[in-house]
Chains A and B, each alone.
Chain A
């Protein structure tokens, strides 16, 4: 039987020295030399800078803000530090409508922040689901028609927004369409009488809501259909029997506590006799806090629901915006105990967004809280809109619009004034501002 020799003191010293030399060696290799350039970019993070970089014209993307003690100067560049928490853009929602030998694509305009600007879009096209795609640069547009396609062959598309330096900064989910030959033969129309029947004009919508939660789709501001997302938070619905023309679709979800997401709206032009596929809808997480006011130095819980096992980025506004990350559970619930020592006393807001695989939701609703000297617990969210609900039925829809429209530019009576104060702008009259508030909290 083999015996195990004990480690002697000299061996321990040797091992300690070895590890020390190894660490110092790695650190020294990782140090960046001072570098200057009239025009270049550095994308890799610098681990132990203690150096500085100067240039007349460059952008340095690194983690200097996290670890560095160096300085960076330039006549004209942007330093975006804390790259580990660097917010990225939301993925666009794409619609595809098949035509004769062609597919018309349109997508929601992507907004970027914190140094990113969208410079243009690429469209990826494949004949196999999942790619590989061949990409074409389109410039800064939000629609394109892919032509010279084969009727009867399914095509698969993705849209990639690029930054100003032509770097891809997001990829949409895949959308597909199969070009079809336009109706042939004979004279169309003819025959007398009646109305024309529109068939097979509609839209397929799909995306992420919350696990096993209700998803509501509005068509031009009114409820068109509701569905329930699957355990994986995915949903898919079809609306048929529509006319050709411009529509404004809006989607929102309700989480397991009845909290509603913000409305995800996008315009779609429907072509007569064609089903338009819209994919990549990704509802923002719901969000709430456990305290309306928190004593400085205590924690405040920020929580909500989103896609299960997704990465949730929470932004807390302060003099400088602070970003933290947490993982949602399998059921999509997330919670983060935020330490208020990181922010100053006063009024603050928080919002969140979610990332799963390559898809990113927009930031959702903004929640207010105050950092002061006392703690005031928040009342449980009833799931009703905070404002705009004039008839208190927990919805903001055509009924509330009609009530407000009656008072539009009319002197308010004594019994309506308190409602205007509590539910609308509170300025004692019903005008465009009140309707704007209503439109923001709209539920259909």
Chain B
């Protein structure tokens, strides 16, 4: 197999959005597409291939200006000559607050297939899901958004676990494959929610998206226990001090 890296050269300007299609010549077999090290950090359309058209759309928060940098990489069979890609249907927009269309150059390089993809044992990176609501989404109900990065093989999918009200806190999670934004089933938010990011070789990272506040009774019990320890400790010290003063006076 061979790794084809498609890089974008923004030239003298800063760019922050890329979208459209890369046309791949007919008959070229693409084994897989990877965006683990792409300069694009959020995809409206994750790179996908259909009938020779590789569609993608994404943004670079804050923009990028500098040397050519990786956009996506493709895995092709070893013996296939490097295809002549058509980038004319790709739009590149400037990081100017207006979305001005600009021209950029694209480069294709061939690299040895990375062993790291095959032997990847590193889970996706830590990430922070966010809860929000919007009148135009899910009829104003609360939803969860999340996005993780995996620098070795890339993110495969996400799973969400919601413990319904009434479940024992020791009950195991039932994971379900889901996408962001995710409509929260338990809108009362009285049980915890966890999100799992899974990379392309199966490594997992689980983060807690939400924990309900503790029952005030637990705070009271905790305060009582701490108070008891403080009193016991004070009594112990006072006794020790009074014994020492008695022995020194006698």
Contact = CB atoms under 8 A, between A and B. Distances in A.
Contact of A265 (B36, B63, B93, B134): B63
Contact of B95 (A398, A425, A439): A439
A276 to B, nearest CB: 14
Contact of B136 (A403, A433, A440): A403
Contacts of A438: 59
A435 B136 contact: no
A402 interface: yes
Given A245-B37, A263-B63, A265-B62, A440 B132 contact: no
A439 B62 contact: yes
Given A243-B152, A399-B130, A433-B99, A405 B123 contact: no
B137 A265 contact: no
Interface stretch (B64-72, B158-166, B190-198, B217-225): B64-72
Interface stretch (A4-12, A163-171, A299-307, A408-416): A408-416
Residue among A196, A399, A425 having the largest count of chain B Cβ atoms under 10 Å: A399
A326 interface: no
B205 to A, nearest CB: 9
Contacts of A397: 130
Residue among B44, B62, B98, B180 having the largest count of chain A Cβ atoms under 10 Å: B62
Nearest to B16: A439
Given A245-B36, A402-B181, A403-B137, A434 B132 contact: no
Given A195-B123, A222-B147, A401-B42, A436 B99 contact: yes
B97 interface: yes
Residue among A241, A245, A405, A440 having the largest count of chain B Cβ atoms under 10 Å: A440
A369 to B, nearest CB: 16
B37 to A, nearest CB: 4
Interface string B180-220: 11000000000000000000000100000000000000000
Interface string A243-267: 1111110100000000000011111
Nearest to B18: A432
Contacts of B6: none
A58 interface: no
Interface residues of A, number: 60
A221 B41 contact: yes
A264 B14 CA distance: 11
Residue among A194, A196, A220, A241 having the largest count of chain B Cβ atoms under 10 Å: A220
Interface in B69-104: 69-70, 91, 93-99
B27 interface: no
Contacts of B54: none
B60 A390 contact: no
Contacts, number: 157
A242 interface: yes
B145 A108 contact: no
B93 A406 contact: no
A196 B12 contact: no
**Chain B: interface secondary structure?**
loop
Given A439-B17, A440-B97, A245 B152 contact: yes
B171 to A, nearest CB: 25
B136 A243 contact: no
Nearest to A392: B134
A267 B16 contact: no
B91 to A, nearest CB: 6
A397 B57 CA distance: 17
B97 A441 contact: yes
A218 interface: yes
Contacts of A221: 41-42, 61-62, 147
B63 A415 contact: no
B242 to A, nearest CB: 48
Interface string A365-404: 0000000000000000000000100110100011101110
A157 interface: no
A164 to B, nearest CB: 15
A266 B44 CA distance: 22
Contacts of A415: 135-136
B130 A398 contact: yes
Interface string A426-444: 0000001111111111101
A442 B61 contact: yes
Nearest to B13: A111
A250 B61 contact: yes
B96 A440 contact: yes
B125 A242 contact: yes
A391 B91 CA distance: 27
- Counting from the closest, the 6 A-B pairs by CB-CB distance are A245-B151, A433-B99, A263-B62, A442-B61, A436-B17, A436-B99
Interface of B: 12, 16-17, 19, 36-37, 39, 41-42, 44-45, 57, 59-67, 69-70, 91, 93-99, 121-123, 125-128, 130, 132, 134-137, 143, 145-147, 149-152, 180-181, 203
18 contacts: A111-B65, A195-B121, A218-B61, A221-B42, A243-B150, A245-B36, A245-B151, A248-B41, A402-B181, A416-B136, A432-B93, A433-B93, A436-B16, A436-B59, A437-B99, A439-B95, A440-B16, A440-B95
Given A196-B121, A402-B145, A437-B97, 20 more contacts: A109-B67, A111-B12, A141-B67, A194-B121, A195-B123, A241-B126, A246-B70, A248-B39, A266-B66, A267-B39, A390-B134, A391-B134, A398-B147, A403-B181, A432-B91, A434-B99, A437-B99, A439-B95, A441-B97, A444-B61
